[in-house]
Amino acid sequence: MSDSPLDIPTGPSPITGESRSEKIVAIVSAMMALASLVLLVRIWTRFRIQGIPSGADEWSILASWAFSMAFTINVCLRKFYSASRGR
């Protein structure tokens, strides 16, 4: 390796066995919890306070939230099963 200023650190090597999966699960779970809270506040505000009936925008937001939840569950399950196999 040269001491050039263009050398970019690459992070942990996959050979050493270091993993960032716990951090990834924590970040993805925290962001999903925040998104769920914002979604609940939006739905409550639209229906209870403003009295606006549900439209296509609410249904598309709920559909995207469901896909995001499925992704979050997938990330957590992959972490659990890969950790139980010693990877």
pLDDT tens by residue, 6-26:
666 666 655 566 677 888 889
Q: Considering the chain, what percentage of its residues have pLDDT values greater than 70? A: 74
- pLDDT at residue 45 above 70? yes
pTM: predicted TM-score of the whole model, two decimal places? 0.67
pLDDT value of position 5: 63
pLDDT value of position 52: 84
pLDDT value of position 67: 96
Contacts of residue 82, Cβ cutoff 8 Å, sequence gap at least 6: 21
Contacts of residue 42, Cβ cutoff 8 Å, sequence gap at least 6: 61
| Mean pLDDT, range 30-57, rounded to an integer | 90
